[in-house]
Structure 1
Amino acid sequence: MKTFTPKPADLTHDWYIIDAKDVVLGRLAAQAAILLRGKNKPSFAPHADSGNHVIIINADKIALSGNKMGKELYSHSGRPGGLRRDSYAELLANKPERIVISAIKGMLPKNKLSKVQMGRLRVYAGEEHPHVSQNPQVFEIKQISQQAK
């Protein structure tokens, strides 16, 4: 039996939409990373870019488990004195997209392919998104937060 290696003509990039309302951040990030890498397809190969486009809506309504509201998200610009520190509570109020993007980025492999895959991720704080014409398939995460019940 020969090993199947997908060719660039075999690769398709589907569109998925995920509603993040009352979904725990880690569970959302794990499912989005699987879709971005294309691990849900039978033609998955780690070296080939078989990933999908992922749209996440309602990022401002995600559930943070544990004591994450008191923790902080760090990022560095690369310049001297460029360390940025924001708490999850103020990020959830002001820029919830940054929380979701950093969680998903941490679950992707650290290589050149992950930059291409992150380019296919779109995160929106509200219900509206400009990608209606792509006819995204709804990807439902069935297990929601215990606090939301």
Structure 2
Amino acid sequence: NDEEQKRMVLCIDRAAPFVVEGGETPLFENGQPSGYVNFGMEFCNNFEQERVRTESFVNLLKELDLFEVREATFTPRNADGSAGAPQKIAEYFAVSEDKLKALPVEKLAELRDNGALGQIYAHLVSLLGWDRLIAMALTRTAQQPVAANA
């Protein structure tokens, strides 16, 4: 971002191995940015707009003091089938359902009307995926061949 002039700047690394003079995909056509460059600029603009929206959403959640620190844990099974010692996989911030429920009705209506409440519930539902994600990671690890000692 060029904050002084309130614009975004698209830069091209001419030293990148896939940027070559006279390549298949031109960056300019008739002195104007090509469709490829325009697509890249549109992607960057959309990305920036979503970044700003996300930042605003997170700031709203902070202002309402809805975050709490949570941990994702995994409890492995011992060889005899009993539960092993729980292992912390990640620590992260999440919306507290208790804090959300404690908000005044007017604030909940405001969140509903501005679309934030739907996003909050989408976030809460996505948290249910931790167990599935951990199980997928363990399955992949178990399927990887053990490296042979040289």
Report the TM-score, using the length of structure 2 for normalisation.
0.19
**Greater length-normalized contact order (CA 8 Å, ≥ 6 residues apart):** 1
Task: Kindly indicate which of the two structures has a greater share of residues assigned to helix.
Answer: 2
Q: Which has the larger radius of gyration?
A: 2
